[in-house]
Amino acid sequence: MSPQEIRAGVIDTLLGIAPEVEADQLIAGKALRSQVDLDSMDWLNFILGLHQRFHMDIPEADYAMLTTLDAVVAYLEARLD
């Protein structure tokens, strides 16, 4: 899966939780949770959505790495190979 496909999948998952977000307004290097206003339930649903889409179990201990959109894409890319 190419980084572009991963990115598109991540954004699609995000829009499923926060439908009011404009995808082209997202700043890829800025903290995702504060930018999109995800509370802990939204965040768990986001992780759950990634799990369903990419068939990958993301441990809670790794949440700290998933800070920005870029970081989420890089994290998935490194583990999908």
Partner 1 sequence: MIEFNLPSLGADMDEGTLLEWRITPGQAVRKGDIVAVVDTTKAAVDVESWVEGTVHHLVTEPGETIAVGTVMAWLLAPGEVAPAELPAAGAPMGQTDGPALPQTPPTEHLTPAALRTRMSPVARRRAEQLGIDPDAVHGTGPDGAVTLKDVEALASARITPPPAVAAAPKDRAAEMRRAIAAAMARSKREIPHYYLAETVPMRNALQWLAAHNAAHPVTERLLPAVLLLKAVAVALGRFPELNGHFVDGEYRPAAAAHIGVAISLRQGGLIAPALHDVGAKPLDALMSELADLVKRCRAGSLRSSEMSDATVTLTNLGDGGVETVFGVIYPPQVALVGLGRIADRPCVENGTVVALPALTASLAADHRVSDGHRGALFLAELREMLQHPDSLAGGAS
- How far apart CA 20 and CA 44 sit, in angstroms, is 18
C-alpha pair distances (Å), 51 with each of 9, 27, 38, 48, 76: 11, 23, 17, 5, 10
| Binding-residue pattern over the window 18 to 57 for partner 1, x denoting contact by CB under 8 A | xxx------------xx--x-xxx--xx-xx--x-----x
The piece of 3-11, 17-25, 68-76 that touches partner 1 (CB under 8 A) is 17-25
Binding site residues, partner 1, CB under 8 A = 18-20, 33-34, 37, 39-41, 44-45, 47-48, 51, 57-61
